[in-house]
Amino acid sequence: MCRACIDCMYVWEQFPNAISSENNLNQQYMQFTAQQIATFLQGKLEGDPTATVSNLAKIEEAQSGDLCFLSNKKYEEYLYTSAASVVIVNESLQLAAPVNTTLIRVQDAYSSFATLLEHYQNITSGSGKTGVELHAYVSEKATIAPNAYIGAFTYVDDGAVIGPDVQIFPGCYIGRDVKIGRGSRIYPGVRIYQGCELGSNVVIHSGTIIGGDGFGFAPLPDGTYKKIAQIGNVIIENDVEIGANTTVDRATMGSTIIRRGVKLDNLIQVAHNVEIGENTVIAAQTGISGSTHIGRNNIIGGQVGIVGHIQIADGTRINAQSGLSKSVTNTNTTLNGSPAFDYKSSLKSQAIFRNLPELQNRLLKLEETVQQLTALLNARNTDME
C-alpha cells in the first residue's frame, strides 16, 4: 500500500474523532490542515499544505481560518479576493487571476464539500450514540441491534426490528412489526405505523408520519361516508431521505412504495398505493393522489398537484405550481402550468396571456378602424347611387 493510501486511511479514521461535539461551529475542524483535507478528499493541493481551518463558511463571507468551496461560476469573483484559508474547487477551474488562498482541486467541489458537512452533521446531531436511553420503552418482543440507539421517550412496539447503526432520536413511535434497516436515522417526533418497512441508510426528519391511513371512504345512499380499512403498508427502499412534516400513507391493500434514492422535501403528501421511482426528487408542498406511479429520475417542483391513478414516465420534469391531470407517456418531458402541458408551449401561452390587455386595445382600435372604413364605404356607395 502506497504512503498516500495510508495517509488517506488515517485521515478517514481521525476526521470525525478530531471534531469535539462540545465545541461550537467556530471551533470545528481547528486541528485540520489543508494537506489532511486534501488527502481525505483525494484532491490535489495548490498552496500552503500547513494552512489550518477552524470553520466552514460561504465563499463570499469567508475569513482567515475558514474552509469553503466554489462550484458555481457566478461566485468565482469572490475567489480572487477571499480571505479564506482553504477553498475547495473543481479540478477543471481555470484561474483568471492569482489567489491568496490554498486550493484543493477535486472532481466535484459541491459533492466533496457535502462529504465534509456530513461528517460535521454526524457529530453535532448525536449520530454515533448506542444503547437505549432512560425513559424509552422497547418491547421485549422487539429485536434491537446491539449498536443501535433509541432516544428517550421513544416507543418501540412488539415485533419491531431495528438494524445495526440505526439512530432513533427521542420522542419517536415505532409501531408493531416495523423494520428499519442498517444505518437509518429517525429524527425526533417521527411516527412509523405498524408493518412499515425501511431499508438501509434511510433518513426521516422530524414530524413525518409513515403509514397513516390512506384517504379511503365509500359514499353511502344517505350522504354519509363509510371508512375503507387500509390494511397495506409502506415500503421505503435504501438511501431515501424524507423531509420534515411529510406524510406517506399506507396502501389500502399491498404497499405504498418509495424506491431507492428518492428525496422528498418537507410538507409533502404521498397518498395510498403511490409508487415513486428510483432517484426521483420532489420539492415541498407537493401532493400526490392515490395509486399514481411516478417513474425514475423525475424532478418535481414545489406545490405541484398530481391526480390519482396516472402514470408518469421516467425523466419527467414538472415545474413548480403545476397541476398534472393525465398520464405522461413520453420520457424526459418537461411540463408547466395548470393543467400542465409542454414547457415551451406553456411559456408561449404565458407570454400571450401577459399581453392580453395590449392585444385587447389593439383589437378595439382595429374594430373602430373597420367601422370607420365601413361607414366611408357605405357613404361612397350612397353617393354613387
Give strand pairing partners of 276. Answer: 258, 294
Active-site hit among 205, 272, 293, 309: 272
Of 131, 165, 175, 176, the residue nearest 151 (C-alpha): 131
Cis? peptide before 339, omega within 30° of 0: yes
CA distance 364 to 354: 17
Angle at 322 between CA 217 and CA 336, to 5 degrees: 145
Q: What is residue 69's three-state secondary structure?
A: strand
What are the distances in angstroms from CA 142 to CA 108, 173, 174? 43, 13, 10
Our answer to whether residue 272 is catalytic in this structure is yes
What are the distances in angstroms from CA 11 to CA 4, 17, 217, 254, 315? 11, 10, 57, 46, 38
CA distance 353 to 372: 29
What are the distances in angstroms from CA 73 to CA 77, 79, 107, 384? 8, 10, 15, 75
In the chain, % helix, strand, coil (3-state, to 5) comes to: 25, 25, 50
CA distance 15 to 9: 10
Is there a contact between 180 and 218 (Cβ–Cβ < 8 Å)?
A: no
Phi, psi (deg, nearest 5) at residue 220: -110, 160
Among all residues, which ones are annotated catalytic?
Answer: 272
